[in-house]
Amino acid sequence: MKMIKFNEMATTNNPHGVDARKLHANNDVQVVHILLKPGESLKKHTTAVNVFFYVLEGEGIIEIGNEKQTATKDWLIDSPKEVPHCLYNESNADFRVLVVKTPSPTADQNRKAINTMLNK
């Protein structure tokens, strides 16, 4: 049995410049823990795979396509592939979200997404 604690995992380098920790990855799924401190956000981007966000703690704004909603603990938000999305923490407390991508994006898909985001 493999067990890990998110706070013992290293933060991954990412174009958003936020605390993101890859907890699990195989060909079928990728799971990332994201911590947005007050005032932090992701850059608006798309993914080549389906994603869902599960809010672990706090309150934040989830933007999927042209819709923006406030989400709090225990909300699950679906984000279809190729639809621009973003997370914002406009509160005064931490916003922790579990990001699940399925299937797991390939290295080539990740490179294309990062290049597209950085060239905007």
**Chain centroid, CA 33 distance in Å:** 7
pLDDT score of 114: 65
Q: How buried is residue 39: exposed, middle or buried, by Cβ count under 10 Å (0-12/13-18/19+)?
A: exposed
What is the distance between the terminal CA atoms of the chain, rounded to a whole angstrom? 43
Residue boundaries of the structural domains of the chain: 15-118
pLDDT score of 105: 75
Q: Considering Cα of 15, then 19, then 25, then 28, what sign does the dihedral take? A: negative
pLDDT score of 116: 65
| Residue pLDDT, tens place only, 44-78 | 999 999 999 999 999 999 999 999 999 999 999 99
- Pick the closest to residue 102 from 77, 68, 79, 86 (CA basis): 79
Give every CB contact of residue 12 below 8 A, 6+ residues apart in sequence: 20, 21, 22, 32
pLDDT score of 6: 87
Q: How far apart are CA 1 and CA 88, in angstroms?
A: 35
pLDDT score of 73: 98
Please name every residue paired with 33 in a beta bridge, in sequence order, or none if there are none: 21, 98
Residues of the chain where predicted confidence (pLDDT) is lower than 70: 109-120
Given this structure, which CATH class describes domain 15-118? mainly beta
